[in-house]
Chain A
């Protein structure tokens, strides 16, 4: 879900820079949550989690899409895509349908993707 130019209040979550959240976050539906503060715990969402530049997330994450611009420590299971942007750090094991690590992004951990080498579908 990408709605940069059409923010729909109610479906967009935001954890500001000074905020510290600890616990279990669950979301249903196409929710987008951006973390610029600190989050510790578990995240289970059908939507997208994005860790902003100042965000620090220490959590096990299940979501459709995960974008890391800041820091994410924990294992990630994404039904769609995991993206580590420039300056982003992901420490943990990743399982996803698609993974993108941009130039300047860092991933410390293991990547699991289901595919068959004979007819491997590669995404760039």
Chain B
């Protein structure tokens, strides 16, 4: 039976137009249009989507999030996940194969991470987090040490084609527990058309 610690679930095939708030975990397999505020974790599963601003302790996106996300602990977009919006979180992870468009804001305090990028700088940067979209540049990791041997290869950063002015900047590498401050930009990879 369902225990008190079971996460709340919005199942596939169900859509909610409205707001959710509470202290526990929520798994979204359906669709939410509205705000989500949780004391626990928010997981937008594959096939699920949230359109609206979300706030939770931990936010994980495997489906789609269109809106700003605030995570008091960590935020991550996993492979196959799509995120359009700004992120405020002390720890941000974007997995290879994830799609992300928006700003990343990280608090400047906290333990240093070698992949950290100087705060306060906003770089128009494009990241193709996909091997298929290998660009002219290899990602430069700030530390070639073994600790980052599992860094997903973020390749092909380049200045965006529209909107923002072109300014060259080092690629932002967001490893497993990465730190970045700036603008992560990823246009949808044109799929054969």
Contact = CB atoms under 8 A, between A and B. Distances in A.
Contact of A19 (B2, B14, B18, B26): B26
Given A22-B18, A26-B15, A13 B24 contact: no
B7 interface: yes
Interface in A12-35: 12-29, 31-34
A58 to B, nearest CB: 13
A90 B29 CA distance: 29
B16 A20 contact: no
A119 B93 CA distance: 66
Contact of B4 (A15, A17, A29): A17
Interface in B9-41: 9-26, 29-30, 34, 39
Contacts of A11: 11-13
Contacts of B26: 19
B132 interface: no
A14 B21 contact: no
A48 B16 CA distance: 16
Instruction: Specify which of B2, B6, B13, B24 lies most central, judged by the most chain A CB atoms within 10 Å of its CB.
Output: B13
B6 to A, nearest CB: 6
A104 interface: no
Interface residues of A, number: 30
Contacts of A18: 22-24, 39
Contacts of A25: 14-16, 18
B8 A24 contact: no
B19 A23 contact: yes
A16 B7 contact: yes
Contacts of B4: 16-17
Interface in A55-112: none
Given A19-B20, A22-B19, A24-B18, A14 B7 contact: yes
A22 B16 CA distance: 9
A51 interface: no
B86 to A, nearest CB: 23
A23 B34 contact: yes
B20 A12 contact: no
Contacts of A26: 14-17
Interface of A: 4, 9-29, 31-34, 36-37, 41, 45
10 contacts: A4-B1, A10-B11, A15-B8, A18-B22, A18-B39, A20-B21, A21-B18, A21-B19, A23-B17, A37-B22
List 7 A-B pairs, minimum CB-CB distance, nearest first. A23-B18, A19-B22, A27-B14, A18-B23, A16-B8, A13-B11, A18-B22
Given A21-B21, A24-B16, 13 more contacts: A10-B13, A14-B8, A15-B8, A20-B20, A21-B18, A23-B16, A23-B18, A26-B14, A26-B16, A26-B17, A27-B15, A31-B13, A33-B11
